[in-house]
Amino acid sequence: MKNKAVFLDRDGVLNEEVGDYIMRFEDFKILPHVAKGLVDLHRAGYLLIVITNQGGLAKQLYTEETLAKMHQYMSDELLKAGVFFTDIYFCAHHPVKGNCLCRKPGSLLVEKALSKHNIDPLQSYFIGDKIRDIMCGQAVEVKGILIEPNEDWSIYATQISEGSYIGPTKI
């Protein structure tokens, strides 16, 4: 039997989006509604997978060490609420430095996750705050939920976990 998953963009979905890049660990703030939404999804049996573009790495605005520290902090804080991320994928490229297949809307990172974790895309969702997040999911038949940056999306998580989510509300 295949797994179901919710893919999540990071900036503006899990943590506060402040400008184009979060370059310092001190500026990384988890949004207040995130734990509740993720707990609902986790309890409903969804794998939780982060898919994030981190073009600031290609531009050398911050280091992979700083990025790893942010991701560890996010994982540790949400684990206290009972949330476990199955995986965190990031694209370290930026178009000004050359093209790649892993930068959203490219779907390579989602494809890797689908294969690695035996995920059924038709039972899965992608929550993102940019159209490129939704396009990434749609490329592999994952349903998209487009939110505003920093929006409280926990109602969608509740609907997904209860099986009552009926489709995209904004596209």
Three-state helix/strand/coil letters over 100-122: CCCCCCCCHHHHHHHHHCCECHH
Query: What is the dotted CATH code of the domain comprising 4-162?
Result: 3.40.50.1000
Residue 52: band (very low, low, confident or very high) from pLDDT cuts 50, 70, 90? very high
pLDDT tens-place string over residues 78-116: 999 999 999 999 999 987 777 899 999 999 999 999 999
**What pLDDT is recorded for position 99?**
83
Decide if pLDDT at 142 tops 90.
yes
DSSP 160: H
**What pLDDT is recorded for position 171?**
43
**What pLDDT is recorded for position 168?**
58
Residue 169: band (very low, low, confident or very high) from pLDDT cuts 50, 70, 90? low
**What pLDDT is recorded for position 139?**
98
Ordered by start, the domain boundaries in the chain are 4-162
| Distance between CA atoms of residues 46 and 151, nearest Å | 21
Q: What is the mean pLDDT of the chain?
A: 93
pLDDT tens-place string over residues 26-51: 889 999 999 999 999 999 999 999 99
| Distance between CA atoms of residues 111 and 88, nearest Å | 13
Give the active site residues.
9, 11
Residue 77 CB neighbour total at 10 angstroms: 13
Phi, psi for 168 (deg, rounded to 5) = -60, 140
Cβ(160)–Cβ(6) under 8 Å?
yes
